[in-house]
Structure 1
Amino acid sequence: MKQKKILMFGMAFTVTLMVISTLLILSMYQEASGKSEVMNQNPHETRLYSVSGKSLEMNITLGAIGDILIHDRVYMDAKKQKGYDFNPMFQHVHSILGQPDLLLANQETVLGGTQLGLSGYPMFNSPQQVGDALVHAGVDIVSTANNHSLDKGEKGLVTSLNYLDKIGLYHVGTFRNPKEQETLTVLHKNGFKVAYLSYTYGTNGIPVPKGKDYLVNLIDKKKMKKEIKRAKDEADVVVMSLHWGNEYQRFPTDEQKELGHFLINEGVDVLFGHHPHVLQPMEWVKADDGRTGFIVYSLGNFLSGQMWDYKDIGGMATIQIKKVVNETGSYIELLQPEFYPTFVSNVHQRKYQVLPLQDAEPYGLKNARTKYKEIMEHMTKEL
């Protein structure tokens, strides 16, 4: 069945950005050649410009999926005669994942590979081919700051980042040295500069090595405020990936809401939450300065070995962003948040597969369409 986009709110909010010079605006007009134009940079790159009167408009769709949590039973399913292949697990949602211009995933487990010894719960280390499957599925960047970042120590963290670099998958949240931590991760797409930030509440009690606080970003309002300011100075849009909240709790805590609103006030435009392993609702947040930000409190599990009690239901959230540039400056609008619920099945010969939720009844989910309606109502519930 063809997957349909689900409109969450028919609302648009204007966010004022810094004033840019007339010279820059004119150069952008010249680049657009005074008309709507689609220029194909490569198979994954489309730049859209639209000029009307004296305004230049650009558009982008940002998306995110939840936890990629590779239990041993998941990677054993992917085992082949030579190596591992996770691509079949994403085949039913490949077209959905290809819809955003930029897609983020929460890579919950270290990709240290077989050389460090594969392992599942509670100290995870996954085959590196997980990263290859994410790239193939359309993921552009992964958040790596989470409570399992140090499951294999500094060596596992570094080995994982080295492999992500090797396959060209951007990452944010863990770092190999202080310079990396101080360097903003900014992706360029469709005429936008999108800054990605990532923090976690902790590392499951595993101490960060002395003198190496740069290895993983831990939630610290003072540090976050400083980095958000830098990101706002360098980028059009600031996206925060945050590991927070209580596991298996379907609604955000008061602490989540307070921190989320704080971050929006400081300049974050879009916040994608992770860690509870179940879905938590989405929310528009009005900042003190008149801006409006968007929060998805938890995207749940996208691929994991967890089952039942909503732990096998996740999804992809997207939001459209429009940037308008004119003689006096520029502003962005956040438009049409959408949510695509998914289900993880393993009933067919214990083969793990991620499926559109409403299509999952033949794959072990009873009353899939009723569950789909329930989940959509849950994700749009007013907090």
Structure 2
Amino acid sequence: MKKWRNRFIIFVCLIAAVFCGVYTVYRVRQEKMETSSIYEDKSEELTAVQQEEVYSELKEATILAAGDIMFHEPQIRAAYNEGNDTYDFKDTFKWVKPYISSSDLSIANLETVTAGKQYGYKGYPNFNSPEEVIEALKYAEFDVLSTANNHSLDQGKNGIISTIDNIEKYGLKNFGTYKTPNHSVLIENVNNINIALLSYTYGCNGMEQTLSSEELGYMINLIDEEKIRSDIEEAKKQKADLIVVFIHWGNEYQRSPNENQISLGEKMVKWGANIVFGSHPHVVQGSQIIKKDGKNNFIIYSLGNFLSNQRLETVDNKYTEDGVMVQIQVEKNYERDETIIKNITYIPTWVRKYKDGNKLKYEIIPVKEFLDNKEEQGLLTTKEYTRIEDSYKDTMDKMIK
């Protein structure tokens, strides 16, 4: 009996030992799971902190703007290749391409349309250029083209539509003219900075009558203070960090802005525009800094001609040969949710027109580069060198220092 009792006690002890072992294993596993859970939570917290640190960093972007790009008949003829019945305008931009391509966002005013060969290629007064001009602007590495200007309707509704189609065909974007109603404000995300682009023109040389009132209302942005103010408000609602306005205004060939330009420029800054690029006068007009809420805002009243056949010999005005690319460095502080203009660089340009054998050539010259580089100076005649010296001084004298 005692023997059986001893066996029973041993048996109970073994069961207890097994139970304790199982329980211990269970607790260890539970503790590991709890510990793992704690570390996972901390890992998530660290990720959130890291993300916050990332967005508290300063982000920068460079915006480059160039002025009026026009193609008069001598330019079109000069680019023609009779052998294969095509046009090539790329060489015109070879000297300025490095400046355009090195900027994060490059824009310019396209002052012609590409309606198609069936309308005949022509210059002033009713422009129509081969689509290869868009191809050349793509080669130069422009990103977006402002298409609201007084020549937007030179070939009517079809001219607007075909031009937009060709811009899209070559992988660029446009703003200021549109194919359909209810279009939204164009906002480009550049290095995590949202840049809104708006464009307007004073008119279209009386060609507005080629559109119905409904079409005119949505196909081209005409200067209207209420519309501009409303569009700026819409850009703010869409969380734009910076608002850029490209505006076609002023008096042709006048080297100073008129009262209406100055008044409207100040109003646009008051409404929330940060950068205003002016076009249309075909000569360079001055620049200005306007402070608002402790921040600098920039206006240049006219960027001048980036490319055209206008010059001393054709319009008796040497200043039509001059233009300026403006490169603006902007900086966004995520912690403050604030974007500022950090630096402004002026790059004066001059349109060179010369004969290469029997072929007429056009080149946009970055003036300072040619003045500083003896090898490039060697490409110019003495008369051309003197001319770009004058061009540089004429342009920079207009710029705010």
2:59 partner amino acid: M
Matched, 1:352 2:362: yes
Match of 1:77 in 2: 78
Decide whether the 8 Å contact of 2:295 with 2:340 is kept in 1: no
Aligned counterpart for 1:246 among listed residues 243, 251, 256: 251
Match of 1:199 in 2: 200
Decide whether the 8 Å contact of 2:109 with 2:147 is kept in 1: yes
User: Aligned equivalents of 2:271 and 2:130: distance in 1?
Assistant: 38
2:116 partner amino acid: G
1:240 partner amino acid: V
Q: In structure 2, the residue corresponding to 1:187 is in which secondary structure?
A: strand
Match of 1:375 in 2: 395
1:331 partner amino acid: E
Aligned counterpart for 1:338 among listed residues 337, 340, 345: 345
Q: CA deviation at 1:378?
A: 2.0
1:166 partner amino acid: K
Match of 1:265 in 2: 270
Q: In structure 1, the residue corresponding to 2:319 is in which secondary structure?
A: coil
Change in 2 beyond 3 A, CA 1:233/1:72: same
**Does 216-225 or 93-102 show the bigger shift?**
93-102
Q: In structure 1, the residue corresponding to 2:282 is in which secondary structure?
A: coil
User: Aligned equivalents of 1:341 and 1:236: distance in 2?
Assistant: 28
Q: CA deviation at 1:290?
A: 4.1
Matches within 5 A, 1:292-371: 292-308=296-312, 309-326=318-335, 329-349=336-356, 350-358=360-368, 359=370, 362=380, 365-367=384-386, 368-371=388-391
Q: CA deviation at 1:316?
A: 0.6
Larger radius of gyration: 2
**Structure with greater proportional strand content:** 1
1:187 partner amino acid: E
User: Aligned equivalents of 1:371 and 1:110: distance in 2?
Assistant: 29
Task: Kindly tell me the number of residue pairs found equivalent between the two proteins.
Answer: 332
User: Aligned equivalents of 1:256 and 1:106: distance in 2?
Assistant: 18
User: Aligned equivalents of 1:323 and 1:125: distance in 2?
Assistant: 40
Structure 1 vs Structure 2 CA RMSD: 2.0
Q: In structure 2, the residue corresponding to 1:151 is in which secondary structure?
A: coil
Q: In structure 2, the residue corresponding to 1:352 is in which secondary structure?
A: strand
Q: In structure 1, the residue corresponding to 2:334 is in which secondary structure?
A: strand
Q: CA deviation at 1:282?
A: 1.1
Give unmatched runs, 5+ long, in structure 1.
1-25, 35-50
**Structure with greater proportional helix content:** 2
Matched, 1:275 2:280: yes
Q: CA deviation at 1:120?
A: 0.8
Question: TM-score scaled to structure 1, two decimals?
Answer: 0.82
Decide whether the 8 Å contact of 1:116 with 1:156 is kept in 2: no
Decide whether the 8 Å contact of 2:286 with 2:400 is kept in 1: yes
Which one scores higher on RCO, CA 8 angstroms, separation ≥ 6?
Answer: 1
Deviations 1:34-79 (A, max 9, x none): 5xxxxxxxxxxxxxxxx6xx83210011110011111011111111
Decide whether the 8 Å contact of 2:175 with 2:198 is kept in 1: yes
Decide whether the 8 Å contact of 2:322 with 2:391 is kept in 1: no
Q: CA deviation at 1:242?
A: 0.1
Decide whether the 8 Å contact of 2:127 with 2:154 is kept in 1: yes
